[in-house]
Each structure stands twice: as structure tokens, then as C-alpha cells.
Amino acid sequence: MEVVLDRDAFLRGLQMVQNIVEPRQTLPILANVLVEAEGETVRLTATDLEVGARVGVPARVASPGAITVSARKLAEIVKELPAAAVALRVGENATVSLRCGGATYKLVGLAPDDFPAVVPATPASWVTLDARTLREMLAQTKFAVSHDETRYALNGILFTFQGKDVRLVATDGHRLAISMRSLGTGVGGASGIVPRKAVNELERVLGAGEDVQIAITDNQFVLQMPNFVMTARLIEGQFPNYEAVVPKNHPGKLVIGRSVLAAALRRVAVMAEERNKPVKLTLAPATLRLSASSQELGEAEEILEVEYAGEELTIGFNSRYVLDAISAVEKDQVVFEFKDGLSPGLIKTVEDEGYCCVIMPMRI
Amino acid sequence: MTRAIAHVDMDAFYASIEQRDRPALAGRPVIVGADPRGRGVVSAASYEARAYGVRSAMPIGRAARLCPQAAFLPVDMAKYRAVSLEIMAILADFSPLVEPVSVDEAFIDLTGTEPLFGSPLDAVRLIKQRIRRDTELTASAGLAPNKFLAKVASDLEKPDGLVVVPPGGEAAFLAPLPVERLWGVGRVMGRELRELGVTTVGQLQRMPRAVLVRRFGRHGEDLYALAVGRDDRPVEPFEDPKSMGAEETYGTDCRDPERLRATLRGQAERVAAELRDGGFAAARVTLKLRYGDFETLTRSVTGEPTQDGLELYRRALALLERLGVSRPVRLIGLAASHLGPPGRSQLGLFDADVARRERLAAALDRLAARFGDGTVVPAALLSRRARRG
């Protein structure tokens, strides 16, 4: 194999796949990136057997071929190279020589034969949406993904395609975030839990404008963009019946500016106990009183004039959960709905824009 | 300042309690532990049984051969723990600084208690009297300027002993004892010391410190300090437990997955009850598995802190399933660690039945406190027993 690539394009390509490589691998070859040269493209592939990605980088291919080399070292090298042409050549015994300007490297490679193939499924249908929308939906749900490794089914985002709706749902058992968008066309019917790692990678690779295609098959999530494909094995397991816990018709309704609420929460939470940062909300017509206290530290209180319609009530929340939920929307006004001190609170935007977050209270 | 540290160690604790409660066993060899036909170990042996060479931690089968006429009794931990609490309460009357080492032994710092109980020696005599009067059991005690010497002393004249190491008499007290009495001197170091011609602590005291350090590194320093009877560790009243666990060795290696699960289920309930009793929730669950060939594996998982038996079981089971049991199992166990206060204040979205289970657990704990452990068990375990019985 012998190719010449543009350093900047090479680096961009590497950065799109390199993060998939785990710092510690079960198989040595999984530390490597597969480099394949054919036609006018160099394809770079990385996988950890769960998540895989492949990117195409334009190149001058003098002779086609394939090799694998350490993903981390290759990215480190290319990052330091000047913006110039990079020449790659595979020599005897899977040695890779790399040249750029006056710098030369010899890398110990591994034959490509043992590299686990990244095979995107061929779905019956693709869902097309623009990258910005998908990014937004990920941001509106990702924070609620569970880090509790004992609850596998919650360690990812549930993607559901139904009718014309694309819906993303995440929960850690304490709060639940739903992001929904209606597309102009039918999206078929499919659903699957996409693991957190794949979600993180998605956020990294999604650009600002272009359209992307996604699909869910029996066991795989696939994302396609020009010159890029990513696959992720779906999490096996039963996602909880989330629709049952989304409150309907809560009588208490608080309308408040997102930044006002966030700032007050942060100020009061300074005095809250560290682990769960509990803050008590006391609602009365036109006022919201936030308070926190800790036996060792002291207490804090803040009173806001607000639009609140409903009965007086007191409810406690982990303030981080509320902050996460309101940070996920762009519009400033949010609606916070309540029933009583032990029922979940519901946060959404003023005009229903396909986002809501359900938060269970704390006993305070 | 010279300290006065006592070490109180109950004599053949489990066996003595059984003898006390069953007068027919008084004066007879009693062995508390696993089923004598099985493969477990001796937990405690009465002095009558020790005369036949029976020791704790010995395989029960061997104990049965050494002393077939002994009364073999199962371990009744709930009972022993209750007696232990009585004893610790007595000790607490003498000093705020009581450090329980296990159910049947504790250190007490008596420094400065003279105005209340007279000399430390008088205080120790009073402690022994109170224990005998209130529990009808005997304790052996050691009184010394530090924990190490107090512990060595309490062991010298068992049962019902009382040995005092006066301040200044540390080295002389230790000199005639075999080096194995020193903490940290096991079989290997004992052999190496013998190669150096050292069998008693006195001989060790005469070794130049530099030689010990050269031979044993930092352990050499510690060894020298112990040999001359130096030990600065304080008596620490509250040491929160780091973990709680349960394990079981099968009579014959087990290849039945259903039985493994049932064992785990029972262990999870017991550990959960212990967590609730101590006011803890555990974030980490560890599964331990030993195959018939003694290969031992452990797997752990960390999640939301819990003190719920079903939840502990669920996590341990997931570990067991991921591990994939490949051969017959000799031992299975479950441990809960990363203990903290139970964070029950955060309500859950999907645990409508968690509150119900919490009330259930509380009710079961009350039943167990009143009628003994195992009064009520999960049906999964019951059917198992019924089938076996």
C-alpha cells in the first residue's frame, strides 16, 4: 500500500473514529485503526466490537492495500505534522513508514486480516433528518442517561420511530427526558436502545447543517453521512414503560424564565447537602420560595415573584436534576407542572416543542 | 503518657453460650460449626473439645474424627450477637473508648479512669465480675500499656485469666514467648527467623535492628518495635464496617444453577438485613465463586446504594450470569461494600413497589428480631428447602 493524503483531511478523519478505540482492549488489534486504500480514498475504521465507525478521506492511491496501526500514535503524529502532504507506505513485516516534510516515522503495524469487520446492517428504511436536529435531541436527553452499571437497559438512549415521529428517551430512574420531532414523512416503525458511548460519538461527529440518515435494525443502530458510517450494537434489555410515568393534567403550573430559575437554584444550592443537592420549592400564588439547608453548614433562601396557578405546595428536588432539565431547552420560558409534594414534577417549554422532562421529588 | 489498655476476650464464646443455655452440655465437649458430615469448618470448640485437639477453623470432618463424642451444634449467630451486645454494653460502662475487634473480643482504654474505678487492674477485675454476673460467661483479660501487649496477655492464661504487663516490664514480659506470638510473624517469617537462630522474642530483642531491617525491610522495623513491646495505635471506638457479606460451601460441589441462585437469594436477604441493622446502604456488590478445583473468581458491580435484598440479589445474579458458571461450584458468596447512609430521600420513577418492599423489609426485620433469623424467607428458598427436606 502506498498513499499520499492531505494532513488536515487525514487529521479530521482520524478524529472522527479515533475516540472509539478504548484505552484498554481485550484484543491488541482493537488498539489499532484499520487503514485501507482503494480508488481515490483512504478508509479509516475503528471499533471496540460494540461501536464502530468508518470514514473516507480523499487520497492519491499509488498502490492499494490495507494495514492496521496504533490509533492513538497515528493521531498523535498527524496532529503534530505541518499542513502538508503526508505519505504512507507499508513495507516488509507490516511496518508502516510515514513521511511529511522532513519528518519520517516507522510504525509497527499489524496485518489487517484479524481486524474485526465493521459491517453496517442494511435497514429496510432510513430516517433522514438534519444533523442539528439530531444534536439538539441528543442534548435534550443525554443528561438523563443512567450511569448505574447495574441497570444496563438505562445506559443508553431509546430511539423510537413511529408514524412521522422520531422520539428519543433517556432515564436514570429518578428523572426521564423525552425529545420528540415530527418529520414531514413517515419514518416506519422501529426502536432500540443506543449505548451511551455511541451517543457521545454521535455528538462528536455531527456537524451543523448537513442531512444525516439513521436507522434501527434488530440489533444495530446505524448512522450515515457522506463518507462516514457509524454502527452501534443496541443494548439488549427492556426499557421501562416510560409513558406510564409521564404526568398528564397536573393542576399546578409555574411559568418562569429559565435563566432566572437557574440562577436562583444555583445560589440556594450552595448551602444544600453535597450528595443530592436538595432544594425545597414552596409555591404559592405569584411566589416561589427556594430554600436549602444543611445541618453542618447553615441555610439559604430566595423568594421569586412568579406566575403560578395552582394550590400551595412544597416539594423537594435534587437541584442538579432541575438545572439539567432546564439547560436542555433554548427558549427562555419554561413551564414547571406539579401535583403534590410526592408526585413527579414535569418541565416543558411554553409552546410544546417536543421536549419534556419528568423529575421525581425527594422527601425533604 | 503511660496508657492502660485492656483486652477482653470471651472464653470459647459460642460454645460457652451453648453450654450455658443447655445445662446437659456443661462439662462436655461441644463443637459449634458446620454439619459434621459435611465439609465446613469448626467455628468454636469448648475447652473440653480442645483437649482432644479440636481447634476453630479446623475442617469439621477432622474435628468429628478427633472427638466423635462431642455435641455438634450449628452456629446461632443471632444469639451470639445478642450476647455480644450485652458484653459490649458492660465494657462501655467502664470507658468511652471501647473498640470491638469481633463479637467476642474488644479493647478498652482505661487510661484516666482511676477516680471512677480505682486502679486499671481493679477496673479489669470489675469488668470480669460484671460479665460473669450478667451473662454467666467467663472472659480472659490482658492489661498492658498498649493494645498489642494486652492482646498477647489476655491469651496467656485462658480460660478466665487475667495477666498484667506493668509499664516498664514490656520487654521482660515478651522475652520468653515464641516469636510467632508477634503480629505479622507467620509461617514464612517464623522459618526465616529460625534460620537466623531466633525462636524466642528475647533472642529477637538482642538482634541488632539493622540486621532485621536488612533482612525484612520495613517489616523489620515493625518487628523490632513489637519485639520490645512498642505499639502506639490508639483504641478506636467506632470503626464503620467496610463491607458485609455471606458465603456458603456446598456439601458436594453444586452444578445446579437453580440451587446457586437460591443460595444467592438467601445470602442477599441476610446481607440486606445486616445492612439495615447497621443503618447502611451498599453501592457495590461483589460475587465470589470458588470451583471444585479451588479456582476462585470475584466480580463486582457498582450502582445506586441499596439495602434491599431483592436488589442485591438482582445485581449478584447479573454478575453470575455474565460470569457464566463453567464447572461445579464449591463455594458461592455475596458481599456488599462501599457502604454509606441509605439515601432513601430520592424517590424513583419506576419503583412503585420500592416503598412497599421497604415496609415489608422493616416488618421482616422486626419478625427476625423477635423470633430469630430465617423465620420468614423468600418463597424461592422455601420451595427449595421443602424439596430437599
Rg (CA), chain B: 24
- Which of these is catalytic: B18, B48, B99, B105? B105
Residues of B in contact with A316 (CB under 8 A): 345
Instruction: Report the interhelical angle of B187-195 vs B209-216 (nearest 10°).
Output: 130
Indicate if the alpha-carbon torsion angle B229, B231, B237, B241 is positive or negative: negative
pLDDT of B387: 46
Which among B302, B312, B346 is the top mutation candidate for probing chain A, defined by the most A β-carbons within 10 Å of its own β-carbon? B346
Q: Do the first three CATH levels of B171-227 and B245-388 match, i.e. the same topology?
A: no
Cβ–Cβ of A240/B350 closer than 8 Å?
A: yes
Residue B306 identity? T
Cell digits for A64? 492499494
Query: What is the arithmetic mean of pLDDT over B163-192?
Result: 87
- For chain A, 364 residues long, give each residue's pLDDT as a single digit of tens: 999 999 999 999 999 999 999 988 778 899 999 999 999 999 999 999 999 999 999 999 999 999 999 999 999 999 999 999 999 999 989 999 999 999 999 999 999 999 998 988 888 889 999 999 999 999 999 999 998 877 889 999 999 999 999 999 999 999 999 999 999 888 888 999 999 999 999 998 997 678 999 999 999 999 999 999 999 999 999 999 999 999 998 999 999 999 999 999 999 999 998 878 999 999 998 899 999 998 778 999 999 999 998 899 999 999 999 999 999 888 889 999 999 988 999 999 988 789 999 999 998 7
B57 and chain A in contact, CB less than 8 A: no
DSSP B95: -
Q: Which CATH architecture has domain B171-227?
A: Orthogonal Bundle (1.10)
pLDDT of B389: 37
Residues of B in contact with A364 (CB under 8 A): 345
A362 and chain B in contact, CB less than 8 A: yes
Residues of B in contact with A275 (CB under 8 A): 343
A135 and chain B in contact, CB less than 8 A: no
pLDDT of A261: 96
Minimal Cβ distance to A364: which of B285, B345, B349: B345
Task: Return the beta strands (E) in chain B as ranges.
Answer: 5-10, 30-33, 42-45, 71-73, 98-102, 105-109, 139-144, 162-164, 243-254, 281-291, 296-306, 329-340
Interatomic CA distance for residues B371 and B381, integer angstroms: 18
Q: 3-class SS at A198?
A: helix
| Chain B nearest-CA residue for A175 | B349
Q: Which residues of B148-169 are buried (b: 16+ CB within 10 A; e: fewer)?
A: bbbbbbbbeebbebbbbbeeee
Cβ–Cβ of A150/B301 closer than 8 Å?
A: yes
Interatomic CA distance for residues A143 and A134, integer angstroms: 15
pLDDT of B22: 92
Q: Give every CB contact of residue B180 below 8 A, 6+ residues apart in sequence.
A: B186, B190
Residue B282 identity? A
Q: Give every CB contact of residue A292 below 8 A, 6+ residues apart in sequence.
A: A268, A269, A270, A271, A272, A277, A278, A279, A280, A299, A300, A319
Minimal Cβ distance to A148: which of B303, B345, B346: B303
Provide DSSP, B306-352.
Answer: E--HHHHHHHHHHHHHHH---S-EEEEEEEEEEEE---TTB--SS-T
Query: What is the arithmetic mean of pLDDT over B178-194?
Result: 82
B258 catalytic per annotation: no
A318 and chain B in contact, CB less than 8 A: yes
Q: Picking from A3-17, B25-39, B187-201, B353-367, which range would have the lowest pLDDT averaged per residue?
A: B353-367
Indicate if the alpha-carbon torsion angle B225, B227, B229, B231 is positive or negative: positive
Cα dist. B379→A72, B247, B375, B376, B386 in Å? 54, 20, 12, 9, 10
Residues of B in contact with A320 (CB under 8 A): none
| Chain B nearest-CA residue for A361 | B347
Residue B374 has pLDDT above 90, yes or no: no
Cα–Cα–Cα angle for B259, A236, A127, nearest 5°? 170
Q: Picking from B127-131, B135-139, B342-346, which range would have the lowest pLDDT averaged per residue?
A: B342-346
Residues in chain A: 364
Q: For domain A2-114, is the CATH number 3.40.50.150?
A: no
Cβ contact A308:A328 at 8 Å: no
Q: For domain B245-388, is the CATH number 3.30.1490.100?
A: yes
Residue B346 has pLDDT above 80, yes or no: yes
B101 and chain A in contact, CB less than 8 A: no
Residue A160 identity? T
Query: What is the arithmetic mean of pLDDT over B47-69?
Result: 92
Q: 3-class SS at A134?
A: helix
Q: Give every CB contact of residue A304 below 8 A, 6+ residues apart in sequence.
A: A256, A260, A261, A264, A287, A288, A289, A290
Q: Picking from A355-364, B92-101, B351-360, which range would have the lowest pLDDT averaged per residue?
A: B351-360
What are the residue boundaries of the structural domains of chain B, listed by start? 1-164, 171-227, 245-388
Q: What is the pTM of this model?
A: 0.64
CATH of domain A127-244: 3.10.150.10
Cβ–Cβ of B346/A362 closer than 8 Å?
A: yes
A176 and chain B in contact, CB less than 8 A: yes
Cα–Cα–Cα angle for B352, B355, B356, nearest 5°? 90
Q: Following CA atoms B312, B315, B318, B324 in sequence, which dihedral angle do they give, to the nearest 10 degrees?
A: -70
Interatomic CA distance for residues B341 and B254, integer angstroms: 36
CATH of domain B1-164: 3.30.70.270
Q: 3-class SS at A115?
A: coil
User: What confidence tens digit (pLDDT) does each residue in A292-347 have?
Assistant: 998 778 999 999 999 998 899 999 999 999 999 999 888 889 999 999 988 999 99
Nearest to A7 by CA among A106, A74, A84: A84
Cβ–Cβ of B348/A342 closer than 8 Å?
A: no
Q: Give every CB contact of residue A59 below 8 A, 6+ residues apart in sequence.
A: A3, A4, A5, A37, A40, A41, A42
Provide DSSP, A287-329.
Answer: EEEEEEEETTTEEEEEEEE-EEES--EEEEEEHHHHHHHHHT-
Cell digits for B98? 471501647
Nearest to B3 by CA among B136, B117, B145: B145
Provide DSSP, A221-243.
Answer: EEEEETTEEEEEEPBPSPPP-GG
Query: What is the arithmetic mean of pLDDT over B288-307?
Result: 86
User: What confidence tens digit (pLDDT) does each residue in B222-237 have?
Assistant: 888 889 998 888 888 8
Q: 3-class SS at B17?
A: helix
Query: Environment class of residue A286 by beta-carbon count within 10 Å: exposed (0-12), middle (13-18) or buried (19+)?
Result: exposed
Interatomic CA distance for residues A140 and A324, integer angstroms: 9
| Chain B nearest-CA residue for A359 | B349
Cα dist. A169→A125, A162, A174, B105, B258 in Å? 21, 13, 13, 55, 36
A140 and chain B in contact, CB less than 8 A: no
The reply to whether omega before A120 is within 30° of 0 (cis) is no
- Give the count of alpha carbons within 13 A of B386, CB side only: 7
pLDDT of B388: 45
Cell digits for A25? 482492549
Which of residues A64 and B189 earns the better pLDDT score?
A: A64
| Chain A nearest-CA residue for B352 | A245
Backbone angles phi, psi at B293, to 5 degrees: -90, 15
Element (H, E) at B204: helix B201-206
B258 and chain A in contact, CB less than 8 A: no
B352 and chain A in contact, CB less than 8 A: no
Residue B354 identity? V
Nearest to B103 by CA among B123, B83, B124: B83
Residue B353 has pLDDT above 70, yes or no: no
Residue B250 identity? Y
CATH of domain A252-359: 3.10.150.10
Rg (CA), chain A: 25
Cell digits for B229? 513491646
Nearest to B308 by CA among B261, B356, B347: B356
Residues in chain B: 389
Cβ–Cβ of A360/B314 closer than 8 Å?
A: no
Q: In what order do the strands lie in the sheet with A165-171?
A: A190-195, A156-162, A165-171, A175-182, A355-359, A345-349, A333-338, A252-257, A307-309
Residue B352 has pLDDT above 90, yes or no: no
pLDDT of B383: 57
Residue B304 identity? E
Nearest to A273 by CA among B346, B283, B280: B346
Residue B243 has pLDDT above 80, yes or no: yes
The CATH 3.10.150.10 domain(s) of chain A lie at 2-114, 127-244, 252-359
